[in-house]
Chain A
């Protein structure tokens, strides 16, 4: 029981990685999950090749969304915005590897979606929700 709340998830929830702000980020985006009111701010610093050199997050929300934010943000360091843009929900599911009920999928995806929205805004492109 409670497979959704594995040790690793709870560890990330209690001690999230990349928590905080970046003073002068190249990308900043704020988003919310309308179902639960979870809120997330992401800050990204890029190098000249548009590679993520630093990422910080300020998140309010449930264990699933917070743990996903922690894991996803850590995984994105060193990736270029182009690489991040191509990531899909499977990327997040593979990181979390826990069974998620349909209602909780949105919690898991909030961080990647917010980051991608930030990147699209940075690139001056329209975010496509069907991705």
Chain B
């Protein structure tokens, strides 16, 4: 399959001029955070050098420019996921977006209500619901996974008591692409609201909130070429209108008296205080970059890398791959272990070759336990990775084997 991701794309990313331990950097940890193209870095720098002013306040030219650029970033994100401008709330990250929902939706929970999550959630989509359930006297129910790390969508889990169904689009450990539409339909059939953790999907594939009919969705800028400290909460307008604000203060108000306050319009009702203006504008540049490359192209590029990685890694002696065998059900994330070698030892040794991979439990301790592992190595791809990166990894893994032989 031919893709149109440029062969020399690494040139856009200044970090790839760096050497690590005297070797050119191979970055295979984009599921954790992505690298940033020059366009994004320059946009943030330019904001501070040319446009820095607070938004929604000053009536002077500079503030107007900053305000327009900040709002425009919302529009870009809305376009990316086929949402409305009013439905895009900027937060700090996916974790904050989910906490916002856990807090506000949680206020409406009653004793005996059920929250359904899955066994493959990142701690950020588990702990907030677990804590909210405890406070409200609600029950946290878990959708289980099979040995390949695929969800077992059991109809019995969806009941009249189910109020919230929160789950990830793509597993951050195994790369499993979950049957989002099926789960959303089942949730809606019992009147539950759906919260989708899209931190690992929006950066890597086309995601259309209207197609999915998802109620709320969260993702982070830093995993999709943008800066850290900026995240997104999408919500259907009608739902956001009736939801109470999460944080109170400046910018989220319309009129304040000592007795009471009327809140601002969407999305500002949920964006209290001076936000990460520079980060948001640079995030907008990241979205431009991604849309210019085409999410479909990025998805195909990663599929190609995934297939190649599976072929090559399967040749490494003593290496076990985890996750779905059907690669069409898998995003560009590969989890594996080498026999008798802890994932942190693998990571340390390949680091000596200039290669960044992850070891450990990947903020998903229950899933790791569920799969009966202690930890796992994880490599994850993005649009700037190449087959040569995988070749370098395979060579380094052979070295790991030699060390432990």
**CB <8 Å contact, A63 and B360:** no
Surface stretch bound by A, among B194-202, B297-305, B343-351: B343-351
Interface positions, chain B 349-405, Cβ under 8 Å from A, are 349, 352, 359-361, 365, 368, 374-375, 399, 403-404
Interface positions, chain A 46-74, Cβ under 8 Å from B, are 60-64
Distance to closest chain A CB from B199 (angstroms): 20
**CB <8 Å contact, A63 and B345:** yes
Identify which of A2, A4, A62 contacts B342 (C-beta below 8 A): A62
Q: How far is the CA of A35 from the CA of B399 in the complex (A)?
A: 24
On chain A, the residues within 8 Å of B375 by CB distance are: 36-37
Interface positions, chain A 1-58, Cβ under 8 Å from B, are 1-2, 4-5, 10, 35-39
**CB <8 Å contact, A104 and B348:** yes
On chain B, the residues within 8 Å of A36 by CB distance are: 342-344, 359-361, 375
Q: List 29 A-B contacts (CB under 8 A).
A: A2-B352, A2-B403, A4-B349, A5-B403, A5-B404, A10-B404, A35-B360, A36-B343, A36-B344, A36-B359, A36-B360, A37-B360, A37-B361, A37-B365, A37-B368, A37-B375, A39-B374, A60-B374, A62-B342, A62-B344, A62-B345, A63-B341, A63-B345, A63-B404, A64-B344, A64-B345, A64-B348, A104-B344, A107-B344
- Main DSSP-derived SS at the B contact region: helix
On chain B, the residues within 8 Å of A5 by CB distance are: 345, 348-349, 403-404
A94 in the interface (beta carbon within 8 A): no
The residue on B at minimum CB distance from A4 is B348
**CB <8 Å contact, A1 and B342:** no
A101 in the interface (beta carbon within 8 A): yes
On chain A, the residues within 8 Å of B343 by CB distance are: 36, 62
**Size class of B's contact patch?**
10 to 19
B residues with a Cβ closer than 8 A to A are 341-345, 348-349, 352, 359-361, 365, 368, 374-375, 399, 403-404
**CB <8 Å contact, B348 and A101:** yes
Known interface pairs A4-B348, A107-B344. Does A61 touch B360 (Cβ–Cβ under 8 Å)?
A: no
Distance to closest chain B CB from A107 (angstroms): 7
The residue on A at minimum CB distance from B402 is A2
On chain A, the residues within 8 Å of B341 by CB distance are: 63
Q: How far is the CA of A39 from the CA of B360 in the complex (A)?
A: 12
The residue on B at minimum CB distance from A35 is B360
The residue on A at minimum CB distance from B348 is A4
Distance to closest chain A CB from B321 (angstroms): 20
